Amino acid sequence: MRKSPLYILTEDLSFFYKINKELNKLKIPFKILSVNKIIPKYSAIILTKSNELINWQENEKNSVILAYSDNDDFNHYLIKVIAAYRVGYKEKYSELLFSVDPGKKTGLMIFLDGLYLYSYCCFEISEVLGKIKQYINCFQENNPTLISLTFKLGNGVLPITINLVDKIYLIYDGRENLKIFLIDEFKSSKIKANQKNRTHQISKDELSALVLALRRGIEVNQENYINILNQLRSNKKRKDNRAPIKNQNANYDKSFLGEIALKVIDGELTLEGAFEELKSINSLK
């Protein structure tokens, strides 16, 4: 049900103004459905209050109804609305992937079950970690199965990368289904994406994080990450900061890579689909 039309159906003015404001900020299109109108017969996502469900839930079988209760975390509710719209509604999602381009401004890209969910430009590492925790808590909520977590961290600013790896292992110590990859940042900031006249635009830092998400990198674990990061630091001092994770995918045409990036953002390609498309183009060179 990815990109199903979105409707607000409520008599609660407080909820209406709140969700209306947030959807406008997110530039997610929606329509307002008055309570005396017939609910669409086609698949749609309907946003309402839980105490209003009794008014129409029994007669509604085609649409997904996302109901908000005053006791709910509104930020979590909003994230689930974005997920239903961009990824497709599921009672339980299976994987979150966070791609991070560290720097003075840190790009953070978030993918859910292989599809683009949302992105941020952060100014503090605490902000990055806060966003990550918020999304994990949201999708782990009421889910007895541990959601898989994948982190792709750029190696361009090693002190920040080291800090992030330390913090992730500290916060999620011993957690199963957790993978961390160190990604070569070579030319990741050189991507060219034509975002003119696009309603959903992202910053160059977020685009760089997206490029990192399209690279394989090298996987680390709690036993070897200190040695690998120290090796990277040593290589950086020798002005050879690309070893040992030199990435074979760094030479894609910048404009073509930008086109692929926009397809990922628009939900036309999964991360794996984008990687395979890039791989097939590269094999033709």
Pairing of strands 148-154, 115-122: unpaired
Mark whether 164 and 29 lie in a shared domain.
Answer: no
For 172-198, what is each residue's pLDDT tens digit? 988 989 999 999 876 555 666 767 777
Highest mean pLDDT pick, 15-19, 238-242, 256-260: 15-19
Mark whether 82 and 137 lie in a shared domain.
Answer: no
The pLDDT-based confidence of 241 (bands split at 50, 70, 90) is very low
Mark whether 153 and 223 lie in a shared domain.
Answer: yes
Q: Which residue has the higher pLDDT, 130 or 60?
A: 130
1 is a domain residue: no
* Cα distance between residue 147 and residue 93, in whole Å: 7
Mark whether 53 and 188 lie in a shared domain.
Answer: no
**Domain final residue, candidates 62, 86, 110:** 86
Task: Name the domain count of the chain.
Answer: 2
pLDDT, residue 129, reads 96
Mark whether 76 and 100 lie in a shared domain.
Answer: no
Instruction: Domain of residue 174: give its range.
Output: 95-283
pLDDT, residue 186, reads 63
**Domain final residue, candidates 51, 86, 121:** 86
Mark whether 74 and 100 lie in a shared domain.
Answer: no
Q: What is the CATH number of the domain that holds 243?
A: 3.30.420.140
For 193-227, what is each residue's pLDDT tens digit? 767 777 778 888 999 999 999 988 899 998 888 88
Instruction: Tally helices (H) and strands (E) across the chain.
Output: 8, 10
Mark whether 277 and 160 lie in a shared domain.
Answer: yes
**Domain final residue, candidates 86, 109, 131:** 86
Give residue 193's identity as a one-letter amino acid code: A
Between the alpha carbon of residue 240 and those of residues 231, 235, 237, the distances in Å are 11, 5, 7
Mark whether 128 and 257 lie in a shared domain.
Answer: yes
Please tell me the pTM assigned to this model.
0.89
